[in-house]
Amino acid sequence: EVQLLESGGGLVQPGGSLRLSCAASGFTSSTFFMAWVRQAPGKGLEWVSAVDGRSGRSDDTYYADSVKGRFTMSRDISKNTLSLQMHSLRPEDTAIYFCAKTLRSGTADMIFDFWGQGALVTVSS
């Protein structure tokens, strides 16, 4: 059974840092594009970042302009986990952060068929 479990959320002051993790089980995450998608309180969905799942490109990462240069997505193949390191956090980064898996391995289909329950990040003084 596919499962995604996020952890690491919490309250952080503006300008601070936080690291989110996503533990994947039931599939080999390194062969899939994986993504982080966030949702501000009461708002819609916003794509944050993605890591490539194609052979030979599994370290390639992509970011929304709103987080580029501040957030870094990575994966630990041995642990089947993903991480999102967030620096220089702003109040507008306050959101639930979802980890999501794409439908087909080895392709950039960017269709999200499984989502974790999310981790809440609150940026406030």
Partner 1 sequence: EVVLTQSPATLSLSPGERATLSCRASQSISNYLAWYQQKPGQPPRLLIYDASNRATGIPARFSGSGSGTDFTLTISSLEPEDFAVYYCQQRVHWPPLTFGGGTKVEIK
Chain contacts with partner 1 (rule: CB under 8 A): 35, 37, 44-47, 50, 62-65, 98, 103, 109-113, 115-118
d(CA 102, CA 125): 36
**Number of Cβ within a 10 Å radius of residue 38:** 23
Residue with Cβ nearer partner 1 (8 or 46): 46
The residue assigned the tokens 């994966």 is 75
Kindly give the pairing relationship between strand 45-51 and strand 34-39: antiparallel
CB of 10 to partner 1, least distance (A): 19
CB of 14 to partner 1, least distance (A): 24
CB of 88 to partner 1, least distance (A): 20
**Number of Cβ within a 10 Å radius of residue 84:** 25
CB of 85 to partner 1, least distance (A): 18
Cβ–Cβ under 8 Å, residues 58 and 88 = no
Residue with Cβ nearer partner 1 (64 or 87): 64
Residue with Cβ nearer partner 1 (16 or 106): 106
Residue with Cβ nearer partner 1 (77 or 108): 108
Cβ–Cβ under 8 Å, residues 39 and 95 = yes
